A and B are shown apart, each in its own frame.
With several copies, the nearest count.
Chain A
């Protein structure tokens, strides 16, 4: 730990509104641990979220927070990172938030490849609104709205991320906290957009994909697994059912958004830009 680091450094005084037993607690602990182990400080971190149970997490950690709109965590997150690359920007959002309402931002921010980490609390359900199907809910699962079972086949978030060209794609599980901490550290350190889809049991609304259900199926990708092979990653990502792999499915280095704009890398961050109105006067010339 850095000087001034202490175990409680990232503790927030906000009261936690999650249900006892919720998988979100493990994620909260994991992210705090990861940040401590990475020697980060609260003021260096920007936590961005949308709306949902997952999206409350930023309030429960001491850090800069932008808790925006349902489905819209990514756009402000990447913009903030572009403006101030010194911030470690982390997005926490639910499966509904990310893959449902926010699906378009998901695929397009993968293309943008801004250097942020994105942790999706995937409980395969809309929890805050009390249990409707999310894009990852199993086919046929019955809910208060899917009274005849979910009619739409579930998305595979890892497949989608790989198909859209993500450079870091991983899956974690709240039941494997140490593994999750490591994934988080890797994701945060990865230059560019890094996704971890985190299997997170919701004890109140998802009675199918419970902690036990996951625990029975989850296994860690073996050491030998090569993370640089896209076809292999796609194949692995298809594995879901009896066995569910967790770990880093794919990791390569790709130029980030800012790498492509020389004046962003050569100059001080936009947040520190020094500018006078008179500096714009030169643009008059072409209008003369």
Chain B
């Protein structure tokens, strides 16, 4: 069982609510859900849609072919009906009636019935009822969902609307329910936020920027309960500098933004590095340059964040691969930032940030916070504390101001002496540079090798990173029967873990980087770090996420064009 429903309409038509009703109902029934949202940078009008896929086994990506279309406007019919599978059903108000090329259309009196239910605003709920009945969903699971979504004043009218809608259709698809497993349904943004909360984040400063705002919204909703501060800064420069100040003062601190805001954080990134203040920054990518496509997805900021800020310093960059990964890696980022006193950048994107996926509940039991803040053994020493003490491993014991007896903690953005004062000495400069860079060597040992998907000794090796993990996994499933194929999916990406790569690459005939950008930024990094060149690329840069099917099709094209080429 693997179904795919598209709910489409204009912004402000309640597409989100209808989608929520469907998603939550399915989740409650115990099926696996993957729900991806495609929306425009406007509040009303335009064309937005959700694709809600559900199955009796884990789902890793959206897919294009549709079993049901719920069209709240005629644009949805026009744009999407060609995606309908042969057995697919389009559900829409009769007023939008038109010819569709595949599948079956149910032109229903949705608007009329909505008025009948009590208000035309319930059109979406009527439609949701109609769709739920197509799948023969159990009413008993729908009520609690409705209850949680609608305020009591409007619950009744929506309940009525749903019932009326339900009556409009007959079951057409057969549901199979998997064995019920404990599941949460979560977006990447929520997972990052919860990972940070678990890690003991107590200070978050940020400035709204799509598609990163979800993280801040999530954290802000937990502000009082978790007893933390979530503060909207006047700009991104303030956001990162506040986070750094909070971290210096001893809090676990974080900021998040998208590429445009990250531009404004670049100097702050260097400040965290130079002052050796731990910091976690989530950069949730959207298509650029600059304003670009504010609500869409891309992976084109990798090269940027790798070398952002003047001068040279160690940083760690981890690409988040799915909500589950996002949770654990965000948690880990705080420990690593503290351990090495460095900035850690988490790279996400709109796709990862916004899609909902059912996954097993996060396991908190094995998580441990490691602050790596020095204790009395350091601050009870009679000598003045040296914030930047030169040590064998390049890591200076860190103290927190006001929490270390009569010692003081001196942090400085100039080149500095061990005790944190401005210096111009050449030898100190060399020692401090080496001390800073030495931590890159530690990080090289710390980084995790990429996920291996598909065959472990394949002839065709795909290389991907971040949120394409799921789609690539599905692509491999689709290709595996016909080809000797596998994939490496990088999470930790800088410093680049190269062991698996250098093991596998020499034996492959095709090395294909699969990236959501135009220039192949992972491939560039791999050339630079491992002197290995990809033979082919699958790139997408129109702001729409690649599905498993999309990748599989493109990989096939590449394979066949190559065979032709070598004939």
| Bound-complex Cα distance A14 to B244 (A) | 25
In the bound complex, do residue A83 and residue B246 qualify as a contact, i.e. CB atoms below 8 Å apart? yes
B241 surroundings in chain A (CB, below 8 A) = 68-69, 72, 75-76, 79
Which of A64, A75, A261, A262 has a CB less than 8 Å from the CB of B237? Answer: A75
Which of A82, A101, A144, A280 has a CB less than 8 Å from the CB of B207? Answer: A101
When A and B form their complex, which 8 residue pairs have the shortest distance between CB atoms, in order from nearest? A76-B245, A79-B245, A75-B241, A277-B367, A108-B234, A64-B401, A19-B44, A80-B249
Binds A, one of B160-168, B196-204, B499-507: B196-204
| Bound-complex Cα distance A77 to B217 (A) | 24
Is B131 an interface residue, CB under 8 A from the partner? no
Other A-B pairs, 15, CB within 8 Å; known A67-B422, A80-B245, A84-B401 = A59-B410, A59-B422, A65-B412, A66-B248, A66-B411, A79-B244, A80-B246, A83-B250, A132-B232, A144-B217, A145-B217, A271-B402, A273-B228, A280-B197, A280-B226
In the complex, which residue of chain A has the Cβ closest to the Cβ of B421? A14
A159 surroundings in chain B (CB, below 8 A) = none
| 8 Å CB interface, A36-81 against B | 41-44, 46, 48, 51, 53, 56, 59, 62-72, 74-81
A263 surroundings in chain B (CB, below 8 A) = 223-224, 227
| Bound-complex Cα distance A48 to B244 (A) | 12
| 8 Å CB interface, A252-288 against B | 261-264, 267, 270-273, 275-278, 280-281, 283-284, 287-288
| Chain B: interface size category | 35 or more
Is B390 an interface residue, CB under 8 A from the partner? no
CB distance from A136 to the nearest CB of B (A): 13
Interface residues contributed by chain A, number (CB under 8 Å): 81
In the bound complex, do residue A271 and residue B232 qualify as a contact, i.e. CB atoms below 8 Å apart? no
Binds B, one of A123-131, A173-181, A182-190, A210-218: A123-131
Is B41 an interface residue, CB under 8 A from the partner? yes
Which residues in B have some Cβ–Cβ distance to A below 8 Å? 12, 40-46, 182-186, 190, 194, 197-200, 202-203, 205, 207-210, 213, 216-217, 220-235, 237-239, 241-246, 248-251, 253, 260, 267-268, 271, 275, 290-291, 294, 331, 361-362, 364-365, 367-369, 400-414, 420-422
Which of B234, B402, B414 has a CB less than 8 Å from the CB of A105? Answer: B234
Binds B, one of A26-34, A146-154, A222-230: A146-154
Given contacts A70-B260, A145-B216, contact A104 B234 (CB under 8 A): yes
Is A6 an interface residue, CB under 8 A from the partner? no
| Bound-complex Cα distance A214 to B394 (A) | 50
| Bound-complex Cα distance A81 to B251 (A) | 11
CB distance from A223 to the nearest CB of B (A): 37
| Bound-complex Cα distance A148 to B225 (A) | 11
B275 surroundings in chain A (CB, below 8 A) = 66, 68
In the bound complex, do residue A79 and residue B203 qualify as a contact, i.e. CB atoms below 8 Å apart? yes
